[in-house]
Amino acid sequence: MSVPISSPATKSAAPGTIPPLFGLVLAGGRSTRMGRDKATLPYGDGTPQLERAVALLGRHAARVYVSVRRDQAADPLRARFAQIQDIHENIGPIAGLLAAQAQHPQSAWLVLACDLPLLDDASLAHLVSRRDAARTATAYRSSHDGLPEPLCAIYEPRSRESLSAWIGAGKECPRKFLSSADTALLDEPNPRALDNINTPTEYGAVTSAQTKRITVQYYALLREQAGRRDEALTTTAATPRELYAELAGRYPFSLAAEVLRVAINSEFGDWSAPLKDGDAVVFIPPVAGG
């Protein structure tokens, strides 16, 4: 990370120091349009989106909290994480941020909605590396409408006062808040990263794009341990590395991925290359010809 993290602020930050960056996943929504709790929706390898978002934030923030409504605190998924409960009701996502700022007023908050399954580590890293702590906030400019994206953005401690005033004036919209505030705006490196998924149709489109049919052939020790020469399977694994991890959960493979090579469509391939529908994959144990 390129942003220096000072010690967790319990007293006023000294002039010139950059406030520490904490992470907040907003999981207090009502998922009305989805008809199911968006925090629990599985993506990729089947991990609930809330867990994925917490893990992603954890790579960029000194601490990560989950923002919940009071009546959600005991929810089994949400209860696994450090929580901050809303103080205000019915004011939308700003409620979560205000509660977090009340608890840690000297920290900046990297706020993340929990319906952004396409958000990638690089996009988050870019936001953090371009953070301008001298401004009120740092945010992406939407690739769709050019407006600030408020739910994947960094709010500096100085934003607390103006956010309170914004709510006090009866306004709720965090996007309009960022537009009116002194916000550093960045272009998105990945224009789909901030596509939020609100409806069952959108969810189906994302997950079916993540699902592919793959054939796997097994040789030598892996053939014996899998108990088969080949199989056709449906997977959400994005890369050969993820696919091997998935298969290693199903079969008693003794070989770590580090000692294997991978072939895709009968040519040596890259462990982190994206898998495509219809790919034929072979994991190659250490060879012993001659």
Residue with Cβ nearer another protein (170 or 290): 290
Q: For residues 50 and 76, what is the distance between their CA atoms, to the nearest angstrom?
A: 12
Cα dihedral value 41, 63, 239, 277, nearest 10: 30
Stretch touching another protein by CB under 8 A, among 3-11, 74-82, 177-185, 253-261: 253-261
Say whether residue 243 binds another protein (CB under 8 A).
Answer: no
Residues 6+ apart with CB under 8 A from 5: 18, 20, 21, 62
Taking CB under 8 A as the criterion, the residue among 76, 170, 227, 290 binding another protein is: 290
Taking CB under 8 A as the criterion, the residue among 11, 74, 234, 267 binding another protein is: 267
In 3D, which of 257, 236, 262 has the Cα closest to residue 245?
257
Please tell me the count of residues contacting another protein according to CB under 8 A. 23
Q: Tell how strand 261-264 and strand 267-268 pair up.
A: antiparallel
Residue with Cβ nearer another protein (22 or 253): 253
Say whether residue 245 binds another protein (CB under 8 A).
Answer: no
Full DSSP string of 74-115: T-TTGGGS-EEE-SS-SSTTHHHHHHHHHH-TTSEEEEEES-
Say whether residue 89 binds another protein (CB under 8 A).
Answer: no
Site for another protein in 171-230 (CB under 8 A): 217, 219-221, 223
Taking CB under 8 A as the criterion, the residue among 253, 275, 279, 281 binding another protein is: 253
Contact residues for another protein (CB under 8 A)? 217, 219-221, 223, 253-256, 259, 261, 263, 266-268, 282, 284-290
